[in-house]
Amino acid sequence: MVERLNAWLREDPFRLPRAFFIGASWLLLLSLLFPYWRMTLQAPQYPGGLRVDVYVTHLAGDVNEVDNLNHYIGMKKLHEAAQVERFLAPLAIGAAALLGEALAFTRRRWAAVLSLPAMLFPIIFLADMYYWLYRYGHDLDPNAPLRLPPFTPPLIGVGVVGQFRTVAELQIGFWMALAASILIALGLHFRRTVRTALERHQALRIGPLILVPEGARA
Closest distance to another protein from the beta carbon of 146 (Å): 9
Is the Cβ of residue 68 or residue 106 nearer to another protein in the bound state? 68
CB of 78 to another protein, least distance (A): 14
Nearest distance, CB of residue 164 and another protein, angstroms: 13
**Three-class DSSP category at 13:** coil
When the beta carbons of 12 and 80 are compared against another protein, the nearer one is 80
CB nearer to another protein: pick between 62 and 101: 62
Identify the three-state secondary structure at position 208.
coil
**3-class secondary-structure state, position 74:** coil
The one-letter code for the residue type at 80 is E
Interface with another protein by CB under 8 A: which residues? 64-65, 68, 72, 145
CB neighbour list of residue 40: distance below 8 Å, 6 or more residues apart: 49, 50, 51, 166, 167, 169
Q: How far is the CB of 108 from another protein (least distance, A)?
A: 50
Q: Cα(133)–Cα(59) distance, rounded to whole angstroms?
A: 14
Write down the least CB distance from residue 68 to another protein, Å.
6
Q: Which residue, 9 or 66, has its beta carbon nearer to another protein?
A: 66
Nearer to another protein (CB atom), residue 71 or residue 165: 71
Kindly give, in sequence order, each residue whose CB lies less than 8 Å from that of residue 209, ignoring residues fewer than 6 positions away. Answer: 2, 5, 6, 9
